[in-house]
Amino acid sequence: MDGDVTPFAEPDDSGRFGRFGGRFVPETLIPALAELEAAFRDAWADKAFRDELDGLLRDYAGRPSPVTECERLSELIGVRVLLKREDLNHTGSHKINNVLGQALLARRMGKQRVIAETGAGQHGVATATAAALLGQECVVYMGDVDMERQALNVFRMRLLGAEVRPASTGSRTLKDAVNEAMRDWVASVETTHYCLGSVMGPHPYPWMVRELHRVIGDEAREQCRAILGGADPDVVVACVGGGSNAAGIFSGFGSIAGTELWGAEPAGGAAVGHGVPGIVHGMKSFLLQDEWGQVTEAESISAGLDYPGVGPEHAFLADIGRARYEAVGDDEVLDAFATLSRTEGIIPALESAHALALVLRSREELAGKTVLVNLSGRGDKDVQQVSDLFGPDAGRDRGLR
């Protein structure tokens, strides 16, 4: 790793992490992004704002989320596995951390309308939840394909008072939902805050969203030291699509040289592993592209990871060698989904099952080590989809291989 670079610091004045990041947006959005950056800096330095957010994270979202020791799974694979339980947050994932912060920021900026994009629906549900709490108008964009495979979350968003608008062009998944949300924001920027759900997009979003999720890593570092007698885990693993949950937990361990950071990408959307630098959604990062530089469609069993790029800070971490990213196949994910369910009584989100799958695949390399996995969401939303894939035998032939 380049010794002159400090991981998880602020980006430079142009909003870049090394050669990645920046602001590549229409001129009409430059003032809005500058306003957002100034507002966030002001709020983040304001004790009253931080105290209100901390209070909501504690009393409304349920933080701190615990770290659970997986004794049966650990014995089975010969690796000591700890789970950071973001699945136990209100709304069922890590997304609520970022959304509560952005909803409070929108109110502080005098913007009563919030819009969001969503893939698996968890960010949409969290945004609808925060908007209901604060009395804000909420519109969520979601791809047609994702609306079909995540119908339960669509109902939850509507129940919470949000309008869910389908993205019916392109792959009709997360990338296209982002496109529609950004079009809306361009047209309504004076009255609307775009509550972007991951560490992607134009500056200041990658940095701001990471800071709002830093609570995951800060908690996990202290919790692990309490469990491990002052020691740190050997490896921290998280799934990566845009990469917000990974950025959140990685930030707590980035300065600890003895702890490796592993990101698990979907095999059909491995932007770090198979992408090349390019520009999409206002940022420069690793993207899946064809020979003409056109962004290609990603494919994943998980709607939340079905994205052809990755947050620019993850591209930077890969570039400097601080984090390692590997692709995980759908079959491995389903095996991990079943394995955790049967050994620990915890049903993970398909997104989180990617991180578990990488641990199971690497169990020989990890033998005797301690691994912290960010369980970024619970699997309630995925049960019907997995049931259809497993069939009537509930996948009894699935599990650790």
Segment 80-101 shows an average pLDDT of: 98
Catalytic residues: 70, 94
pLDDT at 377: 97
* Mean per-residue pLDDT over the chain, rounded: 94
Q: Which residues contact 330 (CB under 8 A, 6 or more apart)?
A: 266, 267, 268, 300, 301
Q: What is the pLDDT of residue 350?
A: 96
pLDDT tens digits for range 213-231: 999 999 999 999 999 999 9
Show the domains of the chain with their CATH numbers.
16-57+95-194 (3.40.50.1100), 62-93+214-390 (3.40.50.1100)
Residue 1: is its pLDDT beyond 50?
A: no
- For residues 6 and 303, what is the distance between their CA atoms, to the nearest angstrom? 32
Bridge partners of residue 241, in order along the sequence = none
What integer is the mean pLDDT of 68-91? 98
Of 3-7, 338-342, 344-348, least confident by mean pLDDT is 3-7
Banded pLDDT at 5 (limits 50, 70, 90): very low
Q: How far apart are CA 217 and CA 231, in angstroms?
A: 15
- How are beta strands 370-375 and 235-239 bridged, if at all? parallel
Comparison of pLDDT for 55 and 293, the residue scoring more: 55
What is the SS3 assignment for 293? Answer: coil
262: its two tokens: 């592993």
pTM of the predicted model, to two decimals?
Answer: 0.95
- pLDDT surpassing 70 at residue 363: yes
Of residues 91 and 299, the one with the higher pLDDT is: 91
pLDDT 10s digits, 279-333: 999 999 999 998 888 888 888 898 889 888 999 999 999 999 999 999 999 999 9
Confidence band, pLDDT 50/70/90 cuts, at residue 6? low
Of residues 17 and 1, which shows the higher confidence score? 17
Between 174-188, 205-219, 383-397, the lowest mean confidence (pLDDT) is in 383-397
Say what the pLDDT of residue 150 is: 87
Instruction: Give the pLDDT confidence score for residue 3 in this predicted structure.
Output: 37
Q: What is the pLDDT of residue 400?
A: 72
pLDDT score at 173 = 83
Q: What integer pLDDT is reported at residue 401 of this predicted model?
A: 60
Average pLDDT over residues 227-239: 98
pLDDT for the residue numbered 4: 38
